[in-house]
A and B are shown apart, each in its own frame.
Chain A
């Protein structure tokens, strides 16, 4: 694996930019439990610079932003503004120092006017509100961004892009000097992205330093002056845009040593379990078509905002798709609720254990039997406690859940053991299709290997498994095939034999063609559903049944999921 194409220390690159850095992060480290989220990361931002921050999910970008804005504190390292060390212990501190962040989901007061939304956080505007003045100033601020909005109207009616604009206006009205934009383009249309870039250019011209985080490679290479790459919490490189290519950037992002934690023995998969055709949900995802066979693990790869989880939720009936067909064992199904999904034999283990997965104060037993509780009810709806406990104990042994007893509350378990309880809970529904969303996020290496072993066992027993994961090595190690999504669209299905980190990430970032152009023997052009078919052809492991179907074709009959 090649190293980063261009590596420049922040200090050496700063000669090329005028003036001194407005913000410097020096040797920042931060750990959460046993995970080192950031380890010795340094970064400087100069006035009037657009600085892109690249990294996979979990590379430490969010933690870095949180430290910059005072939401979290570093364990080590220092932050300097205008060369002076500062301590930012709250978002108000950040605001005072001129550091602001805007996120994918803007924080808007729907009942207040646009102008008020811009100025409500200001402490220095006195007790009286002069609506005329506020609106004039709001218009002035928006004009600086080259935008015109009806500032007197409530913010309720704004589009996401407009809300973002209001957030930016709020930030610059607070005399922001460093603006952090976390995936600002993820939910915007092409036109809105243009608009946003004009705004960013206006800010740049005013001398604001911008830290721009995006998974869209072409955007980064369009507007960034410099690009910093993080990987696994470490600083990898900072390079001027001209000295970096998309391929090199992707290599920098994934260029880790691949330690295969677990080696799967892949066997020939059985009959098609789940067949999904042209699944569509307006504004969320579209054109998702795939099959999973008994005994097969289908990995779902993609970056944040790729909408993989939404596909999982649609299949599980939480947020059903609007169009498209789903067949289970050849029979068309339409899943409208989790109850139905469970009854049909589709289980979904969530990535969010705390909010969606477990009832924390309840025992391991109660959590495991919850979705299949009806099977544990005896006369008068009484819960058959001994049967329940027996089941829980058998899962405890089988999955090696480490807990004093099955009566221990879920809250008292470690992340890995909680994950095993979530898995048990869904395995107990005896599913035919198991959707695993980030099955190993936030758990330690030992537990991770155990979960991988379990997935392998389940597949060997003939379960069809969809594994949504942002952990590329995991996807590569576990999947029989890898479905790559990008911004709500399925862009590729790659057989594991042809899969590499670069290739999967390239497809996920919309750089499949460019990146692979210099790698002989692969002719994949990611970005269309046809590419998936092409890819299968190229892999040599052609599934004729799949090729007979045109993934882009409308559903065969009236059974719409």
Chain B
């Protein structure tokens, strides 16, 4: 796969790098201290939960599926923590319950997709709505806060200099994600499934098992991210992490993972993750606010699928035309030939 990585680095990943340099250059021009550690750490802290979920979403999309429910799961996990805390349950237990909820619903998603055979789009659309609904049921229209100090410190305080615990966790998880995707049997199976479920079946890959594992991981890690966002913000509302799925899916697709599965690299996803963070920051510098940023992300999402499609279609047309030139079809045009009804 190293050859694959090398080949792609000069392709899509190369393009991402160029974009990144442009964005960084722009940001540096407006803020000379932009690249300083402190600033970059701040930047990362703001998007750390999304970044974590992006890692697992890459696996989901790599198999050719999608999980629309991650942001709602983040909200639900945060709500579970908040609601249990309100009831006087120790925070540690609350966190564990939230993670269990994530894992459980992830398994359910995986079951419906891999065993029952419902399109993941439909299954996770239900989760998208339902999990958010459960969150609303738990915290209603309140804002739950005043969590224990150790909990908020987990999300906010530097652990290693300015680097926070979640950031360290992310670093470890990013390395793990690259390793699993590109250097383990599980990752190999994931990529094979995304390329062709039939080849995978014929080659003895346990397709259902891999898919269920990935959806379960998606639920669990989204729940973890939900807990982390609760810790960082120090308060939870029913709308926590609302709309994050857009960013998460966009980053994965922008990173070069095909929406149909089977192609792309984790490196590309990491690059696009950094790119989008810096882009958002650059937009802030340029005075473009949150909601508009979301729109730009939406545009990016469409373009990251549309552009490869159009390029592919163009290439295909070119190839066909070339083939036609090579072998000119004989005979004159069929126009003008009357089609008479058959007799009888």
Q: Does B339 lie within 8 Å of A85, measured CB to CB?
A: no
B339 in complex: contacting residue of A76, A96, A172, A358, CB < 8 Å: A96
Q: Does A366 contact B342, Cβ atoms closer than 8 Å?
A: no
Q: How many B residues have CB within 8 A of the partner chain?
A: 39
With known contacts A206-B342, A350-B202, A358-B199, A381–B337 Cβ distance under 8 A: no
* Contact (A338, B203) CB under 8 Å given A87-B332, A207-B343: yes
List residues of chain A with CB within 8 A of the CB of B331. Answer: 78-79, 85-87
Contact of A206 among B192, B337, B344 (CB under 8 A): B344
Asked if B339 and A175 make an inter-chain contact with CB atoms under 8 angstroms apart, the answer reads yes
Number of A-B contacts (CB under 8 A): 132
Rounded to whole angstroms, the CA-CA distance of A314 and B231 in the bound complex is 55
Is residue B311 contacting chain A, with contact meaning CB distance below 8 A? no
Q: How far is the CB of B332 from chain A (nearest CB, A)?
A: 5
Would you call A382 and B184 a contact (CB within 8 A)? Answer: yes
The contact of A361 among B188, B195, B204, B337, by CB within 8 Å, is B195
CB of B335 to closest CB in A, whole Å:
9
Determine whether A357 belongs to the interface, using a CB cutoff of 8 Å to chain B: yes
List A contacts of B201 (CB < 8 A).
318, 338
Interface centre among A86, A96, A205 (most CB of B within 10 A): A86
Query: Is residue B87 within 8 Å, beta carbon to beta carbon, of the partner chain?
Result: no
Q: Is the CB of B337 within 8 A of A84?
A: yes
* Proximity bits, B201-239, A CB within 8 Å = 1, else 0: 111111000000000000000000000000000000000
Q: Does B186 touch A at the CB level, under 8 Å? A: yes
Complex contact A356–B202 (CB within 8 A): yes
Q: Is the interface on chain A under 10, 10 to 19, 20 to 34, or 35 or more residues?
A: 35 or more
Residue of A79, A350, A373 with most chain B CB atoms under a 10 A cut-off: A373
Q: For the complex, is A425 an interface residue (Cβ under 8 Å from B)? A: yes
Q: Which of A367-386 contact B (CB under 8 A)?
A: 370-371, 373-374, 376-377, 380-383, 385
B313-333 interface bits toward A, Cβ cutoff 8 Å, 1 = contact, 0 = none: 000000000000001011111
The dominant DSSP class at the B interface is loop
Most central of B4, B202, B337, B341 by chain A CB within 10 Å: B202
Would you call B262 an interface residue if the criterion is a C-beta within 8 Å of the partner chain's C-beta atoms?
yes
Q: Verify A86–B188 contact, CB threshold 8 A.
A: no
Tell me if A41 is interfacial: C-beta within 8 Å of chain B. no
Residue A362 lies at the interface, judged by CB distance under 8 Å to chain B: yes
Tell me whether A360 is interfacial, beta carbon within 8 Å.
yes
Are B329 and A373 neighbours in the complex by a CB distance under 8 Å? Answer: no
Give the B-binding residues of A (Cβ under 8 A). 47, 73-79, 81-82, 84-89, 93, 96-98, 172, 175-177, 205-208, 318, 337-339, 341-342, 348, 350, 355-363, 366, 370-371, 373-374, 376-377, 380-383, 385, 405, 407-409, 425
Could you show 21 A-B contacts with beta carbons less than 8 Å apart?
A74-B329, A75-B327, A78-B330, A82-B337, A85-B332, A87-B331, A89-B329, A96-B339, A98-B342, A177-B342, A337-B204, A359-B192, A359-B195, A359-B199, A362-B4, A370-B192, A371-B203, A373-B185, A382-B184, A383-B184, A383-B188
